[in-house]
Amino acid sequence: MSSSEAVTPETARGFAPPTVTQFSVFLSNKVGKLLDLVENFDESPCHICAISVHEASDHAVVRIIANNAATAKKMLREDGLPFSEHDVLVVELGEGHSLSSMCLCLLGAELNIHFAYPLMTKPGGSATIALAVDDPTLGGQILRRKGFTLYGEADLPSV
C-alpha cells in the first residue's frame, strides 16, 4: 500500500465526528464593511449562525459559520473578499455538560483550544459553542465519549 493509500486511524475506526466549516473573512476596518457582509447573507438563502469579530487598527477578521458552507464560499468569492476556511466543532452545552467540563475533557487529552464563540442559533435548543482545537477528530471523539452532543452543518437551522 502506498502512502497515498494509507488508511488513517479515523477511517480505520469508521468514525469522524461532525464538523462545521468556519470562514475567517478579512475586512478593511472601514465604516459599513461589516454591514455589507452581513446584508449579503440576509439577502440569500444562506444564513449566518455564528459570528465573531476580531478588530485591529486597520483591519478586522470576521469568523462566520453559515448554515450552507458551499453557498457561503460562493458568496464570499463573488464579493471578492479574502477568506480562509477552518473546520470547527459545534458542541451543545447543558445539564452535566458545562463549559468547564468540556474544557476539562479536552485538557485531559492535551488538546489546545484555539478559539471559541457561541452560536446565535441553537440547533438542539440548548446553548452551543463553536470550538477550534488542535485535532477536531480527536476532540470530537473525546467529547462524544463523554456524552456531549456535536452538530454538523445539516443540524444548523435555516433561519
**Domain coordinates in residue numbering, the chain:** 20-86, 88-155
pLDDT of the residue at 3? 40
Which stretches in the chain have pLDDT values below 50?
Answer: 1-12
pLDDT of the residue at 56? 79
C-alpha 63/C-alpha 111 separation (Å) is 21
State whether CATH 3.30.2130.10 applies to domain 20-86: yes
pLDDT of the residue at 14? 52
Q: Selecting from 4.10.520.10, 2.60.40.10, 3.30.70.380, 3.30.70.260, what CATH number does the domain 88-155 have?
A: 3.30.70.260
pLDDT of the residue at 10? 46
Q: Which residues of 109-146 are buried (b: 16+ CB within 10 A; e: fewer)?
A: eebeeeebbebebebeeeebbbbbbeebbbbbbbbeee
